[in-house]
Structure 1
């Protein structure tokens, strides 16, 4: 018996839709790109020309009203996510929402309750759970190769001297904008996947550009997991002039692992590649991490290559299985998990403002 095909509607036609979502819809066998909401097409930016077989709507409301649509992908700015997700659920659609999920954990809980009431599923697009280097770190920890982890650092540092004129730089934290919601959502989600909710959060927000803007552009967040647990450092800076940017540094009682450079999938997707293409998700040998373990009492270093890529398509594949009958337990990034990460972000904001650690 052939698998059911689900019609997918996409709200928004910016970079998120074009680079991260539509290519993954197209490689998911059970998903069909049915429709796109693009409010204001332009001669050089027209969804109808790029995807002539898809319906084009100019408002989200008309998309919600289309009975043929099974799934809605929300790729618009974070301040719209709550309204669009709520409307989609109440219209009887499953929803996949770009990160950050919504501005607050309270709004996240409201959507979780609506999802339970309507029986429609929510998945949050935390694609960096499927970064190959993160999966490598996860495997090293789970296999015990590092022993008990005492410190875990996850970085998203770069040199980017000009602030972006988008929600990532200026929308404001009350609307889920700024660096803590943009990059922090990724870094803190990865820490949450590995270690769960911390016992306390300590944060410093800064404006490294010193450009006169009130919105912070950089942060350092410390997550404490109590006695015996790791100290997690999540850090994003924009004035980091390096040829090799640190990505992970994990230290344990039996070894350590250090990795530079970002996962390659984003750049490959921007270049027009997609999961399934030869070499997709595979980093060069030169970008491999270094594993140091004790041989007797002597630290010995070796190159440790990434695990075989699962790729971001795995997130879409998992959501397809959940919708196809596996249910909430199979949703690859649950709304409840995104809610918990928002609680960490809210604690970090409170800590940065008060200058004190905040207990969770």
Structure 2
């Protein structure tokens, strides 16, 4: 459908993960370039309030040089799920394409492509025979000491689910709970235009620990989640791009790189080795 739309002279927004393979992504990028049309991928979680907060903390240097970066999308759902399209073993199905693409895209947006990828992709639920994998842990190595861990688990019996835990030479940031926008749209009847749309609960604010020098006493305080631009911002940026005012919000080339990381993680998991990009 994306290919046909581009060839018909249409500008296109595609739902993540874009396409099943990086090769197919390259083909669509080439078609978009030849047609002169805009092609963007809907990686909306770049506009999660907690992620925007994390970007602000990193850009202000509050953590120093990052050593460990963990990003989670864990839930406790140990029972076999009802049959649906998500549970079927098909191209671009499974946890790493569903949730992992969001997590990996955020990491890519911050740090670019890693140099090495190690993946553990499989099924944690008991009594499940076949179908798409439900969990993954991916370790991304970058030049220097930084390690990134990307996790989405279905066995995680916690009172509060960890979202981010970042540790650096000058501090750490830990955040629990997911961004509220999806639940507000799906469950709460709160959407764009409502004053509470995307606004994090104060009780869900992350904790920033600042240690300005090695023997300093840690300064611990709650760090307010930033006022969100919300997912509406994605469409505002795309509309401006259509008028020639800047680039699309998430380039297809970015989504292609995320697929390269996912493919490397799957190879790593299957072959039991670290894959270099």
**What's the TM-score once normalised by structure 1's chain length?**
0.74
Q: Displacement of 1:241 after TM fit?
A: 1.2
Compare 308-317 and 274-283 and name the one that shifted more: 274-283
Q: Distance in 2 between matches of 1:156 and 1:114?
A: 34
Aligned residues: 272
For the residue of structure 2 that corresponds to 1:325, the secondary structure is coil
Q: Which structure 2 residue ranges, 5 or more long, are not aligned?
A: none
For the residue of structure 2 that corresponds to 1:211, the secondary structure is coil
Q: Displacement of 1:300 after TM fit?
A: 1.9
Aligned mate of 2:219, from 300, 305, 317: 300
Q: Distance in 2 between matches of 1:105 and 1:115?
A: 15
Aligned mate of 1:241, from 121, 138, 157: 157
Q: Distance in 2 between matches of 1:197 and 1:169?
A: 29
Match of 2:242 in 1: 323
Aligned mate of 1:275, from 174, 187, 192: 192
Q: Displacement of 1:163 after TM fit?
A: 2.5
**Partners of 1:153 and 1:249 within 8 A in 2:** yes
Q: Displacement of 1:109 after TM fit?
A: 0.4
**What's the TM-score once normalised by structure 2's chain length?**
0.95
Q: Distance in 1 between matches of 2:224 and 2:84?
A: 35
- Please list every run of at least 4 consecutive aligned residues from structure 1 whose deviation after the TM superposition is greater than 4 angstroms: none
Aligned mate of 2:102, from 186, 198, 214: 186
Q: Distance in 2 between matches of 1:251 and 1:344?
A: 23
Q: Displacement of 1:313 after TM fit?
A: 0.4
**Partners of 2:80 and 2:126 within 8 A in 1:** no
Superposed, 1:129-208 pairs within 5 Å as 129-160=46-77, 161-172=79-90, 175-208=91-124
1:127 aligns with 2:127: no
For the residue of structure 2 that corresponds to 1:321, the secondary structure is helix
Superposed, 1:1-360 pairs within 5 Å as 84-160=1-77, 161-172=79-90, 175-214=91-130, 215-228=132-145, 230-270=146-186, 271-294=188-211, 297-326=216-245, 330-360=247-277
Query: Rg: which structure is higher?
Result: 1
Compare 106-115 and 155-164 and name the one that shifted more: 155-164
Q: Distance in 1 between matches of 2:253 and 2:82?
A: 30
Q: Displacement of 1:206 after TM fit?
A: 2.4
Q: Which structure 1 residue ranges, 5 or more long, are not aligned?
A: 1-83
For the residue of structure 1 that corresponds to 2:218, the secondary structure is strand
Q: Distance in 1 between matches of 2:127 and 2:164?
A: 29
**Partners of 2:80 and 2:128 within 8 A in 1:** no
